[in-house]
Chain A
Amino acid sequence: MKLTLQTLSSLYSEHLWLELSDSDLEQAKLASQGYSNETGRNYAYLNSLCLNTFLNWIQNNLSLEASLSVFPNEKLLPNVWEFVSGCGINWGSKRLVLIPSDAIDIADFAVPQEWVDIPNWAADYYLPIRVDLEEQYLQVWGFVSRNTLKAKADYDPIYRLYYLEKDWVVPNLEIMQLASNLCLDEKGKVTALPKLSETEAKNLIEKLSKPSPYSPRLNATFEKWGALLNESYWLQKLYERRVQSVSSTISVLSRWLDNVVEAGWQPFEELFNAKTLAPAFRAQRVRGIELETPEKARRAVKQLYKSQSEVSLPPNIEERDALVYLIQNTPDESLRWKAAEYLWAIAPNYPDSAIRKVMDLGVQLMGHPIALMVAVLRKLDGKVAVLLRAYPMENRTKLPPGLKLIGLDENGASIPRLEAVARSEPQDDYISLYFSADVGDRFSVRLTLEDTSITEQFIV
């Protein structure tokens, strides 16, 4: 039996319980972009969630005679999450570090050594936070001073984590506030780290900026690693180098809706002009339905509405607006894109129509010229609908049989039922896939023909 937040907070009334709204989660998801790997994104997601929620609580509940700011600063803290979990907060003359965890118990918590032994990073107090994303709440279960952490924690030298058992955690945050007001020195001495020369730092950055699935924090001795992170300039440099190595090839689809498009993508009409347009596209026809006259278009739109029962055709509406209405309101993805295609055919740049871009992949796939089209539109529920399509190019009118269009998840694994294969009998003019996703979701598209393949990466 899962307990409600109300029951949990009455059972553990000494802890601080903070609810998370859907928009908090959404905001955290947006904040988790811009990292070189999933580790960084996960850290960013959990930490930005904790940071924003906790800062809101401090501002609304504690008498703020002391100043409050984020450490190192608002711009740099997100960079920290490329390497290590934890949020620094400067509160008056004290520093707090929030340590989030998705563990389901609070027997202990782990503080990365960076937050304890890097001189510029070391904090006065550490606050363990249990994050329950399913039930949407945070449990701030107390705090501990750096003195106590150093004295009582079990240090893991392999992963460089200080593990402290619950017994040493003071549950009441009001005590922390009082201790801060009394200016108690509970940080203790922080041993200076040997300084790195400019050359050493550059070499280290070079070595540690190679892409990897994990944080590079264990790939150097702590003395060198800590000395590097101790300087904001180097921290930022390392972050930029790591992120740069992976981000240039990723297309961010939600930005397309604001007309921000990466190089390599062009409007559909530009690529498929009169010279290159395959016969399938020379007539204003969608899947065999002719749309070249207003009357044919009107009839086609009516027929489209009749083919379903969820959405009623609004009265006295022009067919373009009727198509927009259907696109936005139908629950049927297949119908949504059919309507979108009608609209492209009738009025290519109509407001609220789906944005479609196309990339010329050249002849990489066994000599066949192929183009990849991606279309996006924003749905009323906030999700983004995505259509992927592979077309033949130049003077080809049909796709090579066996060409596969496959959707892959963020880990590179095939997404079930997101695969299309070009047929040999009859041959296809194009093959498509479509799905809906949340902003921030990552996926890739792979085109494969026999032994060759091309993969393009996307963030929704």
Chain B
Amino acid sequence: MPLECFYTLPDSIEEHRIIWRVEPRLRDRINGLRQKIDPLAELDEKILEARIARYLFEALQQHPEHELLRTHWIAFLERRCEKVATRLAHLNPSYFRDLVLIGAEVASHPVKFFENFDTQRSQFEYWYPTLKRFSDAKIKYLIIPKFRELTGIDTLGRTHLGLAARSTRKQVKEALHHLGYGQAELSRYLLAWQCFQEIRNSIKLGVNQFKLEHFQNVAKRYGELREQLALPEDDNLDINGEDIKTWLENIGMAIRKLLDPPIASLDTFSPSTKNEDISLLENIPYQPRLDEEMNQTIVAFREFIAHLLEGLQETQEKQLLFLRYGLELKQSQIGKEFSGQAQYQISRLLQRLNNRILTQIGNWVEQHLGLKPSSECLNEIEAVLYQYYSDKIDVFFEKTIQLFGIQSREVLKLFYILKLKPSVIGAKIHKSDAEVKELLEVMSQWVCSSITEKIQAEIQLELPSQCAAKKRITAFTEARLETILQLYLQ
């Protein structure tokens, strides 16, 4: 999924995948950027993608109202939503469609989505993995609560008052803002809500048993504190218990509306056809010297990482890191992959190894980039490790696909790249719908086995059948297959 992520939008959902359509205006802009940044087509695809992403991101910060810029990022977020939805739908494939539709709504506000992505978090040049992980995590946190089938926040069975009582301030603020409450009203509501929390905490009574006297206590407390709101007198009148009850119920209703939005179609966002100022992107300043330095830094950094990780002497250390960052297993799961050793021993080993590796990388970052180490920096370094091992796995996929015969590759291209239905493919290659499906299934399973073998050979570890590692490989095979095929079969 190289640069396509910035110029394709979802067209329809078919079974458990999205059919993407190219937006010509977006594609033209990306091609233009590519020409500007890499006229001689010398750059590695991944570096080019990161470079373009950085330009687009900075441009979005400067021009948040620019529709084309926003659309590029909507396209990016839609791709990340698909990735997240695929992972979540592993619990139940029937969830995929609804998750994607909820994700479409999340993706349609990129400026707001990225408002807390501190550009200073991209402290060192290898920032793109950080942005992707930030996006994936945030999408997950936003999608899950809205998806009733999957939600940990079950709005069903909760009253408006109950929702108001048990939501965070951010949720309350978001919900009221969503309904168009102005700043002054928002301040008053938030204070009332805060007073409600204080009173709720001071009595051992469920909020649904609150009587008027309890709301009057909230109103009384509000009266004691409202002067500190610093609002004009007319905007800051005293209120009574009934008002408080109404306000709190309004909050609950607002939260319910926020969490239970009507699931729109994929037409939630379609860029308008008006001719906007297209010169903006064409005039993005290009700083060749700065970019050259950036390029060198990235190269040096990647070389350092490769040298550090390939240079590990102990086979078990390589195994632990691959399982942790490549297959993204938890410590407890990793422990189970090593039969014959106590789980706590493996956990301790992994902790020490992790400490050592992250420390060494942190030292390099401090030495070569002059950056002060911090928890956030260490978190970004982890993102780098995830990316490193992810790239390794991509190479395994590439090698596996090269082993397919011409006809098989053709079928894969027709299905994954041209997005044709199995029945249409069948008509082309003179097979039935069922035969094509079976063929695709067999090929997918073969890819999965091949990747498993390659990983096992790489880390010199026989993975037990039905283990967490093999389940992870199966899970990401389908998701990565499309990306890799697009890279190598175009």
Contacts and interface: CB of A to CB of B under 8 A. Distances in A.
Interface hub of A103, A175, A178 (most chain B Cβ within 10 A): A178
Contacts of A14: 137
B351 interface: yes
B149 A1 contact: yes
Interface in B168-198: 168-171, 174, 191, 194, 198
B202 A214 contact: yes
A131 to B, nearest CB: 11
A38 B203 contact: yes
Given A175-B379, A175-B382, A108 B168 contact: yes
Interface in A2-18: 2-3, 7-8, 10-14
B277 interface: no
Interface in A158-215: 158-159, 163, 165-168, 170-172, 174-179, 181-182, 184, 186, 213-214
A61 B347 contact: yes
Interface stretch (B23-31, B285-293, B369-377, B438-446): B369-377
B166 A172 contact: no
A107 B170 contact: yes
A63 B349 CA distance: 10
A409 B206 CA distance: 13
B348 interface: yes
B355 A178 contact: yes
Contacts of B205: 411, 413
Contacts of B201: 38-39, 42-43
Contacts of B152: 2-3, 8, 11, 104
A144 to B, nearest CB: 8
A158 B379 contact: no
Interface in B293-349: 330, 347-348
B36 to A, nearest CB: 32
A1 B169 contact: no
A332 B229 CA distance: 56
Given A101-B168, A109-B168, A157-B228, 8 more contacts: A8-B152, A103-B166, A107-B168, A110-B169, A163-B169, A167-B134, A179-B373, A179-B378
Given A157-B228, A179-B374, A411-B203, A11 B88 contact: yes
Contacts of A144: 375
A107 B116 CA distance: 12
A165 B169 CA distance: 10
Q: Is the interface of B mostly helix, strand, loop or mixed?
A: helix
Nearest to B191: A158
B376 A1 contact: no
A3 B150 contact: yes
Nearest to A139: B152
Given A106-B141, A167-B138, A177 B351 contact: yes
Interface string A129-160: 00000000000000111011000100011110
B91 A410 contact: no
A218 B379 CA distance: 37
A178 B359 contact: yes
B39 to A, nearest CB: 37
Interface string A368-387: 00000000000000000000
B153 interface: yes
Contacts of B117: 167
Nearest to B351: A63
A168 B373 contact: no
A105 interface: yes
A102 interface: yes
A106 B141 CA distance: 8
A62 interface: yes
Interface in B44-59: none
A448 interface: no
A276 interface: no
16 contacts: A1-B150, A3-B150, A37-B202, A42-B201, A62-B351, A63-B351, A101-B168, A102-B166, A105-B171, A109-B168, A171-B137, A174-B354, A175-B375, A178-B358, A179-B374, A410-B204
Nearest to A13: B330
Interface residues of A, number: 66
The 6 tightest CB contacts between A and B, nearest first, are: A167-B116, A107-B170, A108-B170, A213-B202, A104-B166, A39-B202
Nearest to A7: B91
Interface residues on B, range: 35 or more
Contacts of B375: 125, 143-145, 148, 170, 175-176, 179, 184, 186
B171 A107 contact: yes
A170 B203 contact: no
A7 B151 CA distance: 10
Contact of A182 (B116, B330, B362): B362
Interface string B77-102: 00000000000100100000000000
B62 to A, nearest CB: 21
Interface string A306-350: 000000000000000000000000000000000000000000000
Contacts of B354: 174, 178
A165 B116 contact: yes
Interface string A211-240: 001100010000000000000000000000
Contacts of B169: 108, 110, 163
Interface string A93-123: 0000000011111111110000000000000
Contacts of B116: 152, 165, 167-168
A2 B167 contact: no
B90 to A, nearest CB: 9
B352 interface: yes
Contacts of B374: 145, 147-148, 179, 184, 186
Contacts of A171: 137
B144 interface: yes
A458 B205 CA distance: 18
Nearest to B349: A63
B153 A105 contact: yes
A286 B152 CA distance: 55
B154 interface: yes
A159 B221 CA distance: 12
Nearest to B226: A158
Nearest to B259: A105
B225 interface: yes
B223 interface: no
B376 A148 contact: yes
Contacts of A43: 201
Contact of A170 (B145, B225, B358, B379): B379
Contacts of A184: 373-375
Interface hub of A106, A145, A175 (most chain B Cβ within 10 A): A175
A104 to B, nearest CB: 5
A23 B402 CA distance: 59
A345 B355 CA distance: 72
Interface in B99-139: 116-118, 134, 137-138
Given A3-B150, A168-B116, A410-B204, A63 B352 contact: yes
Nearest to A141: B141
Interface hub of A2, A125, A144, A167 (most chain B Cβ within 10 A): A167
Contact of A104 (B149, B153, B379, B382): B153
Given A11-B144, A184-B375, A165 B170 contact: yes
B225 A158 contact: yes
Nearest to B87: A11
Contacts of B91: 7, 10-11
A68 to B, nearest CB: 16
A240 B174 CA distance: 41
